[in-house]
Structure 1
Amino acid sequence: MRRIACLIGLLLASGATAAPPADPLGSPNWEGLAKTFFGDDPVRFDDRVRVVFPAIAEDQHEFPVEVDARTIPGVKRVLIFADLNPIPLAVDFAPGRSQPFIATRIKLDQRTPVRGAVQLADGSWLVSGGWIDAAGGGCSAPPVSRVKGDWAQHLGEVRGRAWAETGGARVRLAFRHPMDTGFVANIPTYNLETVTLRGQDGADYGTVSLEASVGEDPALTLITPAKAGDALTMAGRDTNGIEYGAKLTVAAQARFAAN
């Protein structure tokens, strides 16, 4: 027993840390990504982190992904990432007073696990996800707006809707932006970088940090504690310093089908 205790002490003194848990998806990149995203924080797999996406990737340039951790108390961060993408991380969401829920569209460069991860108040992480087959090239093909040549005329446009539902208000935001990955010849990385949403009283309704692996013309769906009639304010910024802004009023109900 004394020898075991001494060995443990030596390991702690040398800064040794526990390896991340074995990956149920068997991804070759899991261990490195876990170290990058979670550091030495405790990590475990938990199906309460609901990662919802289609069974088939019909468009590898805009693949819809939803992470819903509303049944888990104390969530302070939500990540969306795809292990085998050249830019694995897509979204890092700090929900503030909003629900730990986010939906968006990401690029897929090949067959890959797509995951959601949430950080709890104690610093630990819960992870879930699944494999998706994709034709590939989502990160290396030029955006449609670049091909059409009209991206500069629409850069900075914002559309948004907000409507009341049970327990709060659902907010959808859509931006015109090429979300360049830097993997297309002569087109450097250029992406929408942050989006912050605030309530009528200035309350923090969440900040979304985006990477270039989010799909062109990014769309975000959040669930806030706002009520019908409340005014919401959005502020955003891209990697070239261009600022975005919008004001929304929460409608009493949706005027279109909600996903």
Structure 2
Amino acid sequence: MKSIGQHLFLSCVFLCCLVNPSYAQQGQTDPLNSPMWEDMRRSLLGGAAVVFDDRVQVLAPVDAEDSMNVPVLVDASALGEVSKIVVFAELNPIHKVLELEPLQAKPIIGFRIKVQQATPVRAAALAGDGRWYVGGRIVDAAGGGCTLPSIGSENSDWASRMGEVAGRLWSNQDSTRLRMRVMHPMDTGLVPGIPAFYIDHLEFHDANGEILSRLSLHEPVSENPVLTLDLPRRDSVTVVGADNNGNPVNARFLPGKHEVEK
């Protein structure tokens, strides 16, 4: 009887894990103790079970001096194979910041974000074993970064430079680092009279047209986005993308210099 009871108990536990994935992570508590975590897990990760793991590094200032430009670096390379990284700021009015498909690149991305108030900033990395691994930290800020107008939207000549790209490549033995800036207001749509207007996708190609990495951006990314990626070693990199109004973003980079196409 005892063995039958144990068998039934284990069967119930197994079924609970299948029906409710969060049951599988009950042994882990949210290290940031955020009231929004379960909502984020359901809405952005499909309710999947996750592993909180320090190998997913989120580097950002503890105290943000400028709530409209908070530098963030996400590095999930310690996990090995990673197919997707989702970055989100839980207490922002718009949570999702960006989504990176590394493809041939390293699962590393540098960028800047707007924050509305003190918030957990997290990165969830989908690893080769099919599980989500999550890292993050709390960023303190004076607030208001998402509901202030962009500097560009108040400048009469900003349209003449919109979509302008600047940047550079640095290569070592096995990779090429790209650091680039795109002139764009990245309006959140939360300022009265100013609709959402932001770059929403970028692809990174080599000289043969092969896709090296793919990036989706969202409204919380800072004005004039500055992005850093570690791509496979190539002699040139072409960036192709557009904003949510269909305005193109095109540029071709060579080591040590850049050539811009609009």
Indicate whether the TM-score tops 0.5: yes
State the AA in 2 paired with 1:162. Answer: L
CA contact (8 A) 2:62 2:138 kept: no
CA RMSD, Structure 1 to Structure 2 (Å): 2.0
Structure 1 ranges of 4+ moved more than 6 A: none
Rounded Cα–Cα distance in structure 2 between residues aligned with 1:12 and 1:162:
47
Report Cα offsets for 1:50-81 as digits up to 9, x if no partner. 11112320110010000012222111111221
1:255 maps to: none
The secondary structure found in structure 2 opposite 1:33 is: helix
Mapping for residues 189-200 of structure 1, pairs under 5 Å: 189-200=196-207
1:143 paired residue among 121, 146, 150: 150
Greater mean deviation of Cα atoms: 18-27 or 156-165: 18-27
Q: Percent identity?
A: 38
Rounded Cα–Cα distance in structure 1 between residues aligned with 2:76 and 2:58:
9
Greater mean deviation of Cα atoms: 121-130 or 105-114: 121-130
CA apart distance, 1:36: 1.4
Greater mean deviation of Cα atoms: 89-98 or 1-10: 1-10
**Alignment length (residue pairs):** 249
CA contact (8 A) 1:64 1:105 kept: yes
CA contact (8 A) 1:69 1:118 kept: yes
2:29 is the counterpart of 1:4: no
CA apart distance, 1:5: 5.8
Length-normalised TM-score, structure 1: 0.89
CA apart distance, 1:129: 1.2
Structure 1: where are the runs of 5+ without partners? 253-259
State the AA in 2 paired with 1:152. Answer: A
Greater mean deviation of Cα atoms: 162-171 or 63-72: 162-171
Structure 2: where are the runs of 5+ without partners? 258-262
Rounded Cα–Cα distance in structure 2 between residues aligned with 1:205 and 1:223:
10
Rounded Cα–Cα distance in structure 1 between residues aligned with 2:151 and 2:219:
15
1:17 maps to: 21
State the AA in 1 paired with 2:110. Answer: A
State the AA in 2 paired with 1:241. Answer: G
Length-normalised TM-score, structure 2: 0.88
CA apart distance, 1:10: 6.7
2:59 is the counterpart of 1:52: yes
CA apart distance, 1:7: 4.3
